[in-house]
Amino acid sequence: MGISMVEAYGIELLKSNGISYEQVSQQFSENKIDLQIEENFDFAVLKTLFDTDGKAFEQAYAGNYTVKFLTINGLRNLLRMRFGIQVDVYETLEAGNGLSGVPATAETEQQLRLLVSSNWKVDRHGNTLTLYV
């Protein structure tokens, strides 16, 4: 399923703060948006996704999503938030259209292939990936 960059950030922000899908769905089902985290984020966008298609929201919360209109900076942030891959371990391609040297296991590669939209390419080089448009 395709979600926006903002929706992906919101999901990864909640997950990185230990908020379970069950906690989120309970709040959203009760028409509440009172998710206690330090960061300032408007979770109304996630509530809208939940209200529109609850099954799709559940799948996205499980990590089964593709980001529509993914940018290089968005990819960097998701690498950090979702996979714990810091910016200092890979490089930006000279043309500015991708990242190289991204460390990835086979499982991470599979998740990244799902995460990036269809206009992105993912190439494996040993233990690292190059992701580019």
103 — alpha (psi -120 to 50), left (phi > 0) or beta?
beta
Average pLDDT over the chain reads: 94
80 contacts 8 by C-beta, under 8 angstroms: no
pLDDT at 37 over 90: no
89 and 117 in a common domain: yes
126 and 75 in a common domain: yes
42 contacts 49 by C-beta, under 8 angstroms: no
- Burial annotation 104-122 (CB, 10 A radius, 16+ → b, else e): beeebbeebeebbeeebeb
75 and 52 in a common domain: no
pLDDT at 36 over 80: no
Residues spanned by the domain of 47 = 2-61
pLDDT at 38 over 80: no
| Full-model pTM | 0.91
Tell me, what's the pLDDT at 35? 78
57 and 75 in a common domain: no
Q: What is the mean pLDDT of residues 18-30?
A: 95
More confident residue, 110 or 38: 110
Number of separate domains in the chain: 2
- Binned at pLDDT 50, 70 and 90, residue 93 comes out as very high
- Among 37, 61, 85, give the residue marking a domain's end: 61
53 and 10 in a common domain: yes
82 and 37 in a common domain: no
Pairing assessment for the beta strands 66-67 and 2-3 based on DSSP bridges: parallel
Count of other CB atoms within 10 angstroms of residue 31: 8
- Binned at pLDDT 50, 70 and 90, residue 39 comes out as confident
